[in-house]
Amino acid sequence: MAEVNIEGKDGTFMVYVAIPEATPAPGIVVAQEIFGVNQVMRETCDWLASQGFVAACPDLFWRIEPGIQLTDQSQAEWDRAFELFGLFDVDKGIEDLKTTLGMLNAHMVSNGKSGTLGYCLGGKLAYLMATRSDADANVGYYGVGLGDLLGEAGSISHPLMLHIAEKDQFSSAEEIAKVQAGLAGNDQVTVHLYEGQDHAFARKGGQHYDAASAELANQRTIDFFKQALA
């Protein structure tokens, strides 16, 4: 587990990398939440490595302020996180994820296949990686704003799995239904709805963490990647 610096189109940024015991292995680019590459994201990479994947989480806020590591435990941190979210350039973030994907595919311990996994803001980015990149598989947890991005759904050519919280406070029943209907005809897309769950139900230690739903979603994710990235 280490931090490395890689060169992107606009400059150099940090990526946290976790490598499994057995290699070569498939890669997964982890797209951060609005809290930066914090302990939760690092532990997510470590968990993926324990499951047999090379995991890499790039600092997507580096253009605003490098090295952001917030928690969800104070109002001040939430305020800063939403400020960063407002300043974040999605298109440039996608370019950073593509750069990280390329780094993983070329890594000496890679089997040449890689996907993306994202949460919240990262869930939105994972969806966009499915529409805008050649990632071999993509998974998004409670992605924000997906209802406005359905126009890109026709570009999805690799497997995509979405975990959606039925009671997501950052969405609505109408938007969730719109997303489900808009993706229903695409055989590359699998959508799982978690009844009664709120946003970030899989963030351990968070206010809405639900162990049973998180375990189910995580197992589905691992099984999905093992099949798609073999």
Task: Find tokens 């609505």 and name the residue.
Answer: 172
Catalytic residue from among 72, 168, 198, 210: 168
Catalytic residue among 198, 199, 208, 210: 199
Residue written as token pair 């292995």? 25
Tell me the domain boundaries of the chain.
2-228
pTM of the model: 0.97
Tokens of 95: 């370019």
The residue behind tokens 């580096």 is 62
Assign 172 to helix, strand or coil.
coil
What are the pLDDT tens digits along the chain (230 aa)?
799 999 999 999 999 999 999 999 999 999 999 999 999 999 999 999 999 999 999 999 999 999 999 999 999 999 999 999 999 999 999 999 999 999 999 988 999 999 999 999 999 999 999 999 999 999 999 999 999 999 999 999 999 999 999 999 999 999 999 999 999 989 999 999 999 999 999 999 999 999 999 999 999 999 999 999 98
168 is catalytic: yes
Q: May I ask the CATH class of domain 2-228? A: alpha beta
Amino acid at the residue 148? D
Catalytic residue check, 192: no
Yes or no: say if 37 and 58 are a contact pair by the CB < 8 Å rule. yes
Q: Which residues contact 217 (CB under 8 A, 6 or more apart)?
A: 141, 163, 192, 194, 201, 202
User: Is the bond preceding residue 58 a cis peptide, omega within 30 degrees?
Assistant: no
- Exposure b/e, 172-181, CB count within 10 A at least 16 = b: eeebbebbee
